[in-house]
Amino acid sequence: MIITGRQIAKGAGWMVLFKFTERGLGLISTLILARLLVPHDFGVVAMAMSVIAVLELMGAFSFDLALIQNANAGRDQYDTAWTFNLLFALVSALLLVVLALPMAHFYSEPRLESVMYWLALGMAVQGFENVGVVAFRKDMRFDKEFKYLFGKKIASFAVTVPLAFMLQSYWALVIGTIVGRAAGTILSYVAHEYRPRFSLAARSELFHFSKWMLLNNMAAFFRNRSADFIVGRFGGPHALGLFSLAYEISNLPTTELVAPINRAVFPGYAKMSHDVAALRKGYLDVAAIVALLSLPAAFGIAAIAPLLVPVFLGANWLETIPVIQVLAVYGALVAIQNNNGPALLALGKPQVVTGLAALSGILLIPALIFMTQRHGVIGAAWASFGVALVMIPVNYVFIFRALGIRTSQVLREIWRPILSTSVMTAGVQWFVAGLADTSHLGVQVAHLLCAIAIGVAIYPVVSWVLWQLSGRPPGAEQHALDYLLRVLQRLKKSNTTESP
């Protein structure tokens, strides 16, 4: 099967659409809860989710990636993956119940115990999810996966938001999480006709690939979730609530945008792995697209944070402004490196991905402890940023060697987004700095909309000018222009069809 860049781009488009939809619904839910709750409440739920994340490491073998990477995967492989996923989920749910009281004592938060009991139910139910839906990605049927994932999210959203108004409690988020996991299990059997059976026939084959993914996911956990434990332990629920919400808001347009792109490109990379030249070109194309989208989004969030927080989160969350600004830039650094992992996995180098994640975690944990103890939440944000910055040259050394890429090739793809983002950020910051302080919500909203409009106007114009001056080279700008033209053609065709 020949995979083209257009097919990968189409798949990435579906996943980006889903992620925007998912995070859009999640953001609405979060903003409603932020208005109804205080940071302490968010911290309680964040504590529970950090414990769940540790337990989920037991089953973090990423069997879905093993099924995608194996072109000959059949019923034995799929059934074995489903059986292991179910067993790990049930054991994890039981451990969550056992750990509820000890973790409540560890965090000095008695409300955590009952929250963990209920979330254990959601973990157990999710274990029964139909493994057949992995075939959507394997066959690059991202339209079907979009519908399935969207159904899961809308079910959770439809429960969480009404309950937020009714209960005005963090229980709305807990119940919404349980419903979302249950809905995902039910929908997985509706969306795909595959019916898994209990089997361990392919256990050796799956573990040969997935043992590295378990180690990688463990390392990634310590890199991505260690802040929850450290901030919660040294700063308490209030500090963890601030950090958790700041992380979610600041990373919405970056890691949350890039994650679905990586989810879509890995199957394409896997099919191109026999042709290093094709994989190299695909990697550079995706790197350019990631830079084009993530850099302006990240620095834009950082620039408008002083206006964004008062309007959407309210006075209880003003402490998050500098944290959001630092974490937004951190998100951009992570986003431009996240394309490396799928390419290395496609080349059959999971040990390299695992080693890089482990190194990042080894550097991050002591940095978080040191900075959080001395500077609180903002110290944790700066520790995350510093380690991400240090890891950039380390990550690129390995991917450059694997694909035969030179630094100049990458810079040729991303220098225009970097310069355009710099100009946009300077313009927005100049506007925000000149505003007078006001507590009137209507004026705050007007200022925020103006700042967003300035950024939206500057970035594409500067990008287009730089692209023209560069001789219109093929790359991310051309892909974006082609996509825009296709959308306009569809709209024009639709209007023509509807006309009498």
Per-residue pLDDT tens digits for 412-444: 888 999 999 999 999 999 999 988 777 788 888
Return the C-alpha torsion angle 54, 56, 58, 61, nearest 10: -120
CA 456, distance to chain mean position in Å, is 23
Q: What's the CA gap between 476 and 292, in Å, rounded?
A: 7
Q: What is the pLDDT of residues 157-175, one digit of tens each?
A: 788 778 877 877 778 878 8
Better-predicted residue by pLDDT, 41 or 212: 41
Residue type (1 letter), 325: Q
Return the C-alpha torsion angle 466, 469, 475, 476, nearest 10: 20
Better-predicted residue by pLDDT, 26 or 235: 235
Crossing angle of helices 276-312 and 441-469, rounded to 10°: 160
Whether 208 contacts 10, CB under 8 Å: no
The answer, yes or no, to whether residue 7 has pLDDT greater than 60, is no
Which positions ≥6 away from 299 have C-beta within 8 Å? 328, 329, 332, 421, 424, 425
Q: By mean pLDDT, which of 55-69, 196-210, 370-384 is the weakest? A: 55-69
Structure tokens, 421: 């983002």
Mean residue pLDDT across the chain? 81
The answer, yes or no, to whether residue 3 has pLDDT greater than 60, is no
Please state the rounded mean pLDDT for residues 117-142.
Answer: 84
Better-predicted residue by pLDDT, 258 or 231: 231
pLDDT number for residue 195: 92
CA 58, distance to chain mean position in Å, is 21
Q: What's the CA gap between 59 and 85, in Å, rounded?
A: 6
Please state the rounded mean pLDDT for residues 34-57.
Answer: 73
pLDDT number for residue 111: 86
Q: What is the pLDDT of residues 81-118, one digit of tens each?
A: 889 889 888 988 999 999 999 988 888 888 889 989 99
Structure tokens, 289: 């697209």
CA angle 131, 55, 379 (to 5 degrees): 120
The answer, yes or no, to whether residue 273 has pLDDT greater than 80, is no
252: which DSSP letter?
T
Place of tokens 């899961």: 152
